[in-house]
Amino acid sequence: MELPRKSTSSPSRLCYNLAFSTTLSPPCRFSPSALFATPESQVSAEVNTNEREWAMQDFYTLRRDVETAVGRVEEIRASACLHQLEKEVAELESKAADSSFWDDRAKAQENLLALTDVKERIKLLNEFKTQVEDAETIVKLTEEMDSTDNSLLEEAAGIIKELNKGMDRFELTQLLSGPYDREGAVISITAGAGGY
C-alpha cells in the first residue's frame, strides 16, 4: 500500500498512524487498514497540553500543601510561645554575664545547656518560617508565569517535604520536653494470665 504524500514545500509535516484490522473479513476492494493523518504540530500540542495539565495538577497539590504548611508553622510558632522563649534567652544570658555565675559549676552548666536548648528552638522556629515563605514565593511565581516550571515545583515540593520532617521532629521534642523525659526508662513485662 502506498502512503499519500504531501508536498515538501509545506512547513508542517504529517504523522501517519496505521491501524490494521486483526479480524478476517471477506475480501473487498478496500484495504483492511485505515489511514489517519495528523499534523505533527498538532500531536506535539496535544502532548504539551497533557504535560501542562499534569503540571497544573501538581501545582494545585503543591499549593494546597504549602497552605497547609503555612498554617502548621503558625500553629507551632504560637504554641512554642516564641516571645517567651526570647525573654528566657535574655534572662539566661544576663545570668551568664553575672560575675558570680561560675561559683556553682553544676548550676552554671545547667543554665548554659538551657540557654543552648532555647536558642536552638528559636533557630528552628525561624527556619520553619523562612522555609515556608520560600515555598510560598515559589508558588506565587508559578502562578504569575505563563508556563509551569517543573524545576520550581520540584524545589518547592522538596522544601515542603523537609519542612514537614523538621516540624514533626520539633513537635516530638516538644512532647518530650519534661524534666524527666531525657532520662532512661525501665520497662518490665510479666508474662502470665492477666499480666500478674
**Domains of the chain by residue range:** 42-175
41 pLDDT tier (thresholds 50, 70, 90): very low
User: What's the mean pLDDT when you consider all of the chain?
Assistant: 76
pTM of the model: 0.62
- pLDDT confidence band for 128 (50 / 70 / 90): very high
pLDDT in tens, 164-193: 999 999 998 888 877 777 778 888 887 777
Contacts by residues 46-55 (CB-CB < 8 Å, ≥ 24 positions apart): 52/147, 52/148, 55/148, 55/150, 55/153
* pLDDT value for 49: 58
Q: What is the predicted pLDDT for the residue at 52?
A: 59
Architecture, CATH, for domain 42-175? Up-down Bundle (1.20)
Q: What is the pLDDT of residue 25?
A: 43
In this predicted structure, the answer to whether residue 38 has a pLDDT above a threshold of 50 is no
Q: What percent of the chain shows pLDDT beyond 90?
A: 32
* 10 secondary structure, DSSP code: S
Comparison of pLDDT for 42 and 52, the residue scoring more: 52
Q: Are 156 and 133 in contact (CB under 8 A)?
A: no
At 182, which helix (H) or strand (E)?
A: none
Q: Which three cell numbers stand for residue 161?
A: 517535604
